Chains A and B, each alone.
Chain A
Amino acid sequence: MSNSTTTTRTSARGARGTTAGPAGGEKSRRIDSLGRSIRLGISRIGYELRVYSRQGDSVFFTFLFPIVMLSIFAVAFSNAGNIGAAPDGTGGISFAAYYLPGMVAAGMLLSGVQNLGVDIAGEKGDGTLKRLGGSPLPVISYFIGKIGMVLVSAVVQAALLLLVARILFNVDVPTDPAKWLTFAWVFLLGVITSCVLGIALSALPRSGKSATAVVIPIVLLLQFISGVYLQFTMLPEWLQNVASIFPLKWMAQGMRSVFLPEGFATVEQGGTWNLPWVAIIMGVWFVVGLLLTRMTFRWIRKDT
């Protein structure tokens, strides 16, 4: 981010240097450079998607992981009866239906935090960032490329996940447009928040090789305490409170509000889906991620 501020400073200096420049010169130059940043950012999205789709291992582990996990849960508990069924065994929903929202949320987290955290730490280690830092690519274009790549892959991933759930495991998906509207904003805000957190987290590993060792335990732990694999209300209250600090719990809760029947809201903390807090907590983490990114992201570690 430090680079983009430098640019503005340089162009401002340049505009002042031209004697008979038009009054709006500086402003139009800034718009030019914003346009250029966006154009290059879009070109980065295509480039990143190409590189991403050619990496066999990360495609498997982050892209297909939620789908694999949903399948395992659905098959493992296929004889266990429904969740939330009446004492006579009627009603309720299947395990596949119950796990679907958690897996959608896990996919959002993995696509952003795990994918970008490992990816960018690796690019730092292998010299990619050093090369980009010496080129006239604005930092913001680089980020647009990364976030765009994650958004595209997360959308495809969620679509596949829903398709597998619907076709293989016969899970009912909502028909109410209002539910899909909730899905859209929770998904978008969740993925973008995960992205900025992933970018911020990429500053932590000291080398590209240690990146997975640093990032994976964090996301794994979050998944266990946030109601992705274990039913959230089964956790002790103090652990629920800890998990409520982090965004994944709220992503999962938002997704449950979309995919689970209304009656399930009563077992949530406070007895409601609490969508306003879903938005607030994710929004706060988005801002925190942005600030951390701004403070920590460098093309290269200077003086090492």
Chain B
Amino acid sequence: MTNSDNVVSVTDLRKSYGGVTGLDGVTFDIRRGETFALLGPNGAGKSTTIEILEGYRDRTSGDASVLGVDPQRGGIDWKARIGIVLQSTGESGNVTVLEQLTHFAGYYENPRDVGEVIDAVGLADKAKTRIGKLSGGQRRRVDVALGIIGRPELLFLDEPTTGFDPEARRQFWTLIDGLKSEGTTILLTTHYLDEAAHLADRAAVINAGRIVDIGTIDEIGGADARVPLVRWRRQGIRHERRTAEPAALVAQLHAESHGEPDGLEVIRPSLEDIYLNLVGASRADALDAEAVLA
């Protein structure tokens, strides 16, 4: 590993399944203490990437290092340093939340306090309920609790808040903020762009097995994609213009129309808008490429 500050280091990662390309040369690093989001549509390669890094899948080619270890060869000592929240919730309906966490805590050298973790995921009043009797969102919180019980240096969160109500999602964010402040490095995949914007320091947008863009949340998509959009109507016709100086444009419109312009909007693109643009653009590229090949 070249940079010891990198907890995760991935270079030209490729994965094909019987001739079908799942990952087509993915490269990124995650620094210690950073929260990194992998964004992309279903089937883009997010879960394949995260499962390679968790040691569940073998790569076809390229290099991967997680906590200084090749995840394909990660042993017990390595697994004790990572925490995994899988995309799908499993099983174990027959034990209570408390029993499950107490049992799993025993796998680790220096686990977190079971009671504190149950409190932190908001299941204090369900501690003695069997997991099978919990709702989907509550089971998801058990998954998160199991992911952090071992005090991991690196936490993998694969779509952790699917099925959460808005309040539960906010609570989850608070929990993750707490982990971040303790220095936990986090790799997150999510379909909720507001979640990525809130939690992540940096993000990569992945589409069709390739990284389309990577950068801090403020940079991603480039400066142009963030230029505010001004919309207004004049004589029933809709106008819109991108400008770095929306206030000046609004003032000019105000002067020209001698009063309030109709339907005035100033829109600052959200991460979601930028993301949709990126994914849409790369999809259009891919279609073009296919057209050329055909």
Chain A interfacial positions (CB closer than 8 Å to B) = 3, 6-7, 9-11, 14, 33, 40, 43, 47, 50-51, 54-55, 123, 126-128, 130-131, 133-138, 300, 302-303
Provide 20 A-B residue pairs closer than 8 Å at the C-beta atoms, listed in order of the A residue: A7-B75, A9-B73, A10-B78, A43-B103, A47-B95, A50-B94, A50-B95, A55-B94, A126-B90, A127-B86, A127-B88, A128-B91, A130-B86, A131-B86, A133-B56, A134-B86, A135-B79, A136-B79, A136-B108, A137-B107
A7-B77, A10-B73, A302-B56 given; A40·B107 CB < 8 A:
yes
Q: Using a CB-CB cutoff of 8 Å, which residues 107-134 of chain B contact chain A?
A: 107-108, 130
Note all chain B residues with C-beta closer than 8 A to A135. 79, 84, 104, 107, 150
Contact A127 B91 (CB under 8 A): yes
Note all chain A residues with C-beta closer than 8 A to B79. 134-136
Contact B78 A130 (CB under 8 A): no
Contact A40 B106 (CB under 8 A): yes
Contact B90 A6 (CB under 8 A): no
Considering the complex, give the chain B residue whose CB is closest to the CB of A139: B76
Contact B75 A134 (CB under 8 A): no
Interface of A is mostly: helix
Q: Using a CB-CB cutoff of 8 Å, which residues 62-99 of chain B contact chain A?
A: 69, 73-80, 82, 84, 86, 88-92, 94-95, 99
Note all chain A residues with C-beta closer than 8 A to B58. 302-303
Instruction: Give the CA-CA distance A134 to B55 in the complex, in Å.
Output: 8
The smallest beta-carbon distance between A110 and chain B, in angstroms, is 20
Instruction: Give the CA-CA distance A43 to B95 in the complex, in Å.
Output: 14
Considering the complex, give the chain B residue whose CB is closest to the CB of A39: B106
Q: Given contact pairs A51-B95, A300-B56, enumerate 10 new A-B contacts (beta carbons under 8 Å).
A: A3-B75, A3-B76, A10-B74, A10-B78, A47-B95, A50-B99, A130-B56, A134-B54, A136-B76, A136-B150
Note all chain A residues with C-beta closer than 8 A to B108. 136
Instruction: Give the CA-CA distance A134 to B146 in the complex, in Å.
Output: 11
Note all chain A residues with C-beta closer than 8 A to B84. 131, 134-135
> Count the B residues whose beta carbon is within 8 Å of the partner chain — how many?
34
Q: Which of A7, A33, A51, A302 contacts B57 (CB 8 A)?
A: A302
The smallest beta-carbon distance between B85 and chain A, in angstroms, is 10
Note all chain B residues with C-beta closer than 8 A to A54. 94-95, 130
The smallest beta-carbon distance between B209 and chain A, in angstroms, is 15
Instruction: Give the CA-CA distance A136 to B69 in the complex, in Å.
Output: 15
Contact B17 A303 (CB under 8 A): yes
Note all chain A residues with C-beta closer than 8 A to B17. 303
Residue of B17, B73, B99, B103 contacting most chain A CB atoms (<10 Å): B103
Considering the complex, give the chain A residue whose CB is closest to the CB of B15: A303
| 3 A-B pairs closest in CB distance | A127-B90, A10-B75, A136-B80
The smallest beta-carbon distance between A203 and chain B, in angstroms, is 18
A11-B77, A40-B107 given; A130·B90 CB < 8 A:
yes
Instruction: Give the CA-CA distance A133 to B80 in the complex, in Å.
Output: 11
Note all chain A residues with C-beta closer than 8 A to B76. 3, 7, 10, 33, 136, 138
The smallest beta-carbon distance between B74 and chain A, in angstroms, is 8
Considering the complex, give the chain B residue whose CB is closest to the CB of A208: B91
Instruction: Give the CA-CA distance A14 to B82 in the complex, in Å.
Output: 18
Instruction: Give the CA-CA distance A135 to B90 in the complex, in Å.
Output: 14
Note all chain B residues with C-beta closer than 8 A to A303. 17, 57-58
Considering the complex, give the chain B residue whose CB is closest to the CB of A55: B94
Instruction: Give the CA-CA distance A130 to B57 in the complex, in Å.
Output: 11
Note all chain A residues with C-beta closer than 8 A to B77. 7, 10-11, 14, 136
Considering the complex, give the chain A residue whose CB is closest to the CB of B58: A302
The smallest beta-carbon distance between A26 and chain B, in angstroms, is 14
Considering the complex, give the chain A residue whose CB is closest to the CB of B99: A50
Q: Which of B56, B73, B103, B146 contacts A6 (CB 8 A)?
A: B73
Binary A-proximity of B161-182 (CB < 8 A = 1, otherwise 0): 0000000000000000000000
Contact A131 B57 (CB under 8 A): no
Instruction: Give the CA-CA distance A53 to B73 in the complex, in Å.
Output: 36
Instruction: Give the CA-CA distance A9 to B70 in the complex, in Å.
Output: 13
Instruction: Give the CA-CA distance A43 to B75 in the complex, in Å.
Output: 21
Contact A43 B106 (CB under 8 A): yes
Instruction: Give the CA-CA distance A43 to B80 in the complex, in Å.
Output: 17
Note all chain A residues with C-beta closer than 8 A to B104. 135
The smallest beta-carbon distance between B49 and chain A, in angstroms, is 14
Note all chain A residues with C-beta closer than 8 A to B94. 50-51, 54-55
Instruction: Give the CA-CA distance A264 to B41 in the complex, in Å.
Output: 72
Considering the complex, give the chain B residue whose CB is closest to the CB of A137: B107
Instruction: Give the CA-CA distance A54 to B133 in the complex, in Å.
Output: 13
Contact A126 B57 (CB under 8 A): no
Note all chain A residues with C-beta closer than 8 A to B80. 136
Instruction: Give the CA-CA distance A80 to B91 in the complex, in Å.
Output: 49
The smallest beta-carbon distance between A38 and chain B, in angstroms, is 13
